[in-house]
Amino acid sequence: MYLADRSAPADAKTTTDGSPVRGPAVASAVLALGSVSLITDISSEMVTAVLPLYLVAGLGLSPLGFGALDGLYNGVSALVQLTGGHLADRIRNHKLIAGIGYGLSAACKPLLLLAHGLGPVGVVLALERTGKGLRTAPRDALISLSTPPELQGRAFGVHRAMDTTGALLGPLAAFFILSMTVDGYDAVFGVSACVAVLGVVVLLLFVPSGTEPGPARPKPTAPPGPVPEAGSPKPDAVNLRDALGLLRLPRLRALAGCAALLGLTTVSDAFLYLLLQDRTGVGERWFPLLPLGTAAVFLLLAVPAGALADRIGRRTVFLIGHALLLAGYGLLLWAPALPALPFLVLALHGMFYAATDGVLPAAVAAIVPAKLRATGIALVGTGQALSRFGCSLAFGAAWTLLGSGPALAAAAAGLCCCAAVAGFVLRPTAPDGATGRAPRPRRPRGTR
């Protein structure tokens, strides 16, 4: 049930002592969407786990070429997020737009069986990312609108934990398929396509269609006056001007700017795993298992990190996550090549995602009005993803020209500077709904 504030509605049920009866901490819509994400992530991560090695070792791409393709893989999704978020708010049907996105991604999986060159693979990945971009903001808006404001971080944490369970199972499935089949890559792509279709079926059958759950409120009687002309827009209709008006919110601008700034120095997962292989000599057979370390830690800490963000502040936890990522960069650069190094780096990587991936949309949800929730989440997510697109291109070029060590050192230095700037901009100088804490009431003058 979505609550506009922390007070109970007038018709809410109460106990014998007058206190309101609270519903479950996690709405059924969140659990249904989590199940869809779990299944879909099994499909997606099966491909993601083998894609870097398939492109670099199988198709012979250079790090620069892989960086361009990896940037395209994320950049297309970023550009489409705005469209998906605005359409979902405009037509008031978040499930429909999310379903189109999931369906498009599922339809692209079999095409990987036919794409064996850089150009065809790039087109298929761009279409698949288009589906991801369409579904992300409407899905997160559904989660937010189904959850009371004080539990937003926990709800996103539960969803991300379920999503990460799929990310954990996907690489395992890819590993076993590669071990048991001759044409391993084609088998992975085929099984991935079947699992993706199952995710779409679960979405259609179990995710509720309502976009703004909550108790029905009586409509006020309209005062006498002129009747609106036929075809005129509804008073609460969402248009492009409303969407652009979100940029006038100072807190949203600060959050979006800092997320984009930090994204400029966030090395992509694929590059991080390639760096680990380059540093520790992980064999090709074991390479698909590297994402498991990140996913396992993310799964364990997603819900606790979301609950912690609800208590101490979502922006604070978001910045802590980037500090953990910086520590992972430092280990890759300067730590001795010990057997425990991959485990430490992957643990920090998973902690980074637990502290940022669900916490950021929860912080946005506390700022943006309900009717523009998907658009606001899409604005912040687009800026962050476009920054990471630029980081992939720059990191791939630096690796090709300078080597992996100098490229990572530059990324670490940039992240340190960007985190310092973001910490100053997002400092809690005033009560802010994005922190997940209620503002303190002001004491009247003349009182103690």
Q: Scanning the structure block, which residue is given the tokens 């700017």?
A: 257
Contact, 121 vs 59, CB < 8 A? yes
Give the E-state strand segments of 223-307 in sequence order: none
Residue 350 contacts residue 295 (beta carbons within 8 Å): yes
Burial class (CB in 10 A: 0-12, 13-18, 19+), 423: middle
Q: At which residue do the structure tokens 């280990």 appear? A: 331
Q: How far apart are CA 378 and CA 84, in angstroms?
A: 8
Q: What pLDDT sits at residue 338?
A: 80
Which of 317, 300, 320, 295 is CA-nearest to residue 308? 317
Q: How far apart are CA 83 and CA 137, in angstroms?
A: 9
Exposed/middle/buried for residue 400 (C-beta within 10 Å: 0-12, 13-18, 19+): middle
Which positions ≥6 away from 37 have C-beta within 8 Å? Answer: 139, 159, 162, 163, 166, 199
The pLDDT value given to residue 266: 93
Q: What is the predicted pLDDT for the residue at 83?
A: 87
Q: What pLDDT is attached to residue 208?
A: 83
Half-sphere exposure of 429 (CA within 13 A, CB side): 7
pLDDT at 248: 85
Report pLDDT for 91: 86
Task: Tell me 17's DSSP state.
Answer: T
pLDDT of residue 309: 92
Q: Which two tokens stand for residue 68?
A: 């361009």
Question: Tokens standing for 317?
Answer: 């936890």
> What pLDDT, on a 0 to 100 scale, did the predictor assign at position 237?
59
Question: What is the rounded CA–CA span in Å between residue 56 and residue 66?
Answer: 7
At 334, the amino acid letter reads W
pLDDT in tens, the chain (448 residues): 233 333 333 334 444 444 444 556 678 889 999 999 999 999 988 888 787 777 777 677 777 777 677 666 666 777 788 889 988 888 888 999 999 999 999 998 888 878 777 778 778 888 888 898 899 999 999 998 888 888 888 999 999 999 989 888 888 888 888 888 766 778 888 899 999 999 999 999 988 875 444 433 344 444 444 444 444 444 455 667 777 788 888 899 999 999 999 999 999 888 898 888 888 877 777 777 788 888 889 989 999 999 999 899 998 999 999 999 999 999 999 888 788 888 999 999 999 999 999 999 999 988 888 888 888 998 898 888 888 888 888 998 899 899 989 999 999 999 999 999 999 998 765 444 444 444 444 554 554 4
Q: Which two tokens stand for residue 219?
A: 């409509």
pTM, 2 dp: 0.74
